[in-house]
Amino acid sequence: MKVLLLSAYDAASHKRWREALVAHLSDWEFTCLALPPRYFSWRVRGNSLSWAFGPERALLEQPWDLLLATSMVDLSGLRGLVPALARVPAAVYFHENQFAYPESGREYGSVEPKLLNIYNALAADLVLFNSRYNRDTLLHGAQALLGKLPDAVPPGLNETIAANSSILPVPLEDTHFERSVKAARGRMPEVVWNHRWEFDKGPDVLLEALRGCVARGTRFRLHLVGEQFRRQPQAFAEIEALLRVPGCPVVAGEWGFMPSREAYHALLDRCDAVLSTARHDFQGLALLEAAARGCLPLAPADLAYPEWFGKAYLADWGFVPTPGRKGVQEEGRALAGRLQQLVSRWHNDSLPEPPDVSDLSWQKLGHCYRQVLQSV
């Protein structure tokens, strides 16, 4: 199998997915083209120009058995600009969709990225999503957008996308399951928040929750780790200032980007629980990775989380993406109560066992990728 794999906005999770896919289907011949994850508006619309009229043109025109693209690739444009690619069976993988991303999270107000999601899904022979939540929010969002367009909108577009769609999660590397035994109870409980340091991961909710924990005297160690960027929400600075107050019951632990995968795994092995305050999460890899290492998830009962975790690990304090969702202060107060309950149950040795997420390992899902991509 000769595969051309395209990643137009090669963010960390996209890069890990494609590199692991190449490694686990090692008998296939992969050629990968990737563009750096910057200049979002230009990247998602201009990647077809960059590739079709750049030095990669001759490579694109080679014979391929399969074209596999991430959803940021301008697949419809690229297949039009390079006619040879229109004859190659194509699959598109959606790590995310632009319909469920919080509106204020982007610096543009254009509808273009959402339309690109629709074009890509229609231009592919197979559409893969990492969760039902991802698929369903794209279909609902696309239906709403198409219904607002003034005229000449063909019927049945959503039905076509749905008929060509399958759910295939991003697998967890097998090394995530090589966890060590948690330390004994002669210490304070440790909680990790392990997400990108951006607004859509809810740092303002975390700040409100920590203020509530401080007021209640809830004592635990908090680690804030994850990918950082030059511009960060003000909430992170306020969290750091809060935790630096002498006598703060919430003790600051690790802070920022972990220096290595080994150090990150060692941190997860120390922690008792992993926390999400996300406003959207299309699969929740950060929580799944931590759960694989033995951390108890503490997550909202919406987004993609109910697909992986039972009710014992979920709570009704999350940001449901509807006009009737709760406010930051109310969510923060509710989360503070959940954290207090978590700490109390930890001291009483009555926490549930972490969920079993081994079905999401490459060992279990690798053959699924082989079968699904061969079917194209």
Give yes or no: residues 233 and 341 share one domain: yes
Give yes or no: residues 154 and 182 share one domain: no
CATH of the domain at 134: 3.40.50.2000
Task: Tell me, rounded to whole angstroms, the distance of Cα 317 from its chain centroid.
Answer: 19
Total domains in the chain come to 2
Tokens 């035994």 sit at which residue?
181
pLDDT of the residue at 318: 45
Q: Where are the beta strands (DSSP E) in the chain?
A: 2-7, 29-34, 66-70, 90-94, 126-129, 165-167, 190-194, 220-225, 250-256, 273-275, 296-300, 314-315
pLDDT of the residue at 174: 87
Residue 193 to residue 286: CA distance in whole angstroms: 9
Structure letter (DSSP) for residue 196: -
Q: What is the maximum alpha-carbon separation in the chain?
A: 68
pLDDT of the residue at 104: 53
Give yes or no: residues 186 and 224 share one domain: yes
Point out which residues pair with 157 in neighbouring strands: none
Give yes or no: residues 120 and 236 share one domain: no
Give yes or no: residues 32 and 56 share one domain: yes
Structure letter (DSSP) for residue 361: B
Burial class (CB in 10 A: 0-12, 13-18, 19+), 324: exposed
Give yes or no: residues 106 and 229 share one domain: no
- Predicted confidence pLDDT, tens digits, the chain (376 residues): 999 999 999 998 999 999 999 999 999 999 999 999 999 889 999 999 999 999 999 999 999 999 999 999 999 999 999 999 999 999 999 999 999 987 654 444 678 899 999 999 999 999 999 999 999 999 999 999 999 999 999 999 999 999 999 999 999 998 888 877 676 656 899 999 999 999 999 999 999 999 999 999 999 999 999 988 878 999 999 999 999 999 999 999 999 999 999 999 999 999 999 999 998 899 999 999 999 999 999 988 889 999 999 888 887 544 444 334 468 888 899 899 999 999 999 999 888 889 999 999 999 999 999 999 999 9
What domain range includes position 221?
174-358
Q: What angle do CA 203, 116, 39 make, to 5 degrees?
A: 55
Q: Which of 375, 361, 364, 373 is nearest to 30 (CA)?
A: 373
Give yes or no: residues 248 and 166 share one domain: no
Q: Is 270 helix (H, G, I), strand (E, B) or coil?
A: helix
Q: Which of 224, 236, 304 is nearest to 271 (CA)?
A: 224
Region of 130 on the Ramachandran plot (φ > 0 left; ψ -120 to 50 alpha; else beta): alpha
Give yes or no: residues 105 and 236 share one domain: no
Residue 207 to residue 210: CA distance in whole angstroms: 5
| Helices (H) then strands (E): counts for the chain | 13, 12
Residue 24 to residue 357: CA distance in whole angstroms: 19
Give yes or no: residues 150 and 55 share one domain: yes
Give yes or no: residues 138 and 207 share one domain: no
Give yes or no: residues 328 and 370 share one domain: no
4 in Cβ contact with 65 (< 8 Å): no
Give yes or no: residues 51 and 183 share one domain: no
pTM, two decimals, is 0.91
Q: In what order do the strands lie in the sheet with 165-167?
A: 29-34, 2-7, 66-70, 90-94, 126-129, 165-167
CA distances in angstroms from 164 to 50, 129, 368, listed in the order given: 28, 11, 16
Strands 190-194, 273-275: pairing is: parallel
pLDDT of the residue at 292: 95
List own/partner pairs for 302-310 with CB under 8 A and 24 or more apart: 303/133, 303/278, 304/130, 304/131, 304/132, 304/133, 304/134, 305/276, 305/281, 307/131, 307/132, 307/133, 308/284, 308/355, 308/357, 308/360, 309/355, 310/355
How many CB atoms sit inside 10 A of residue 39's CB?
11
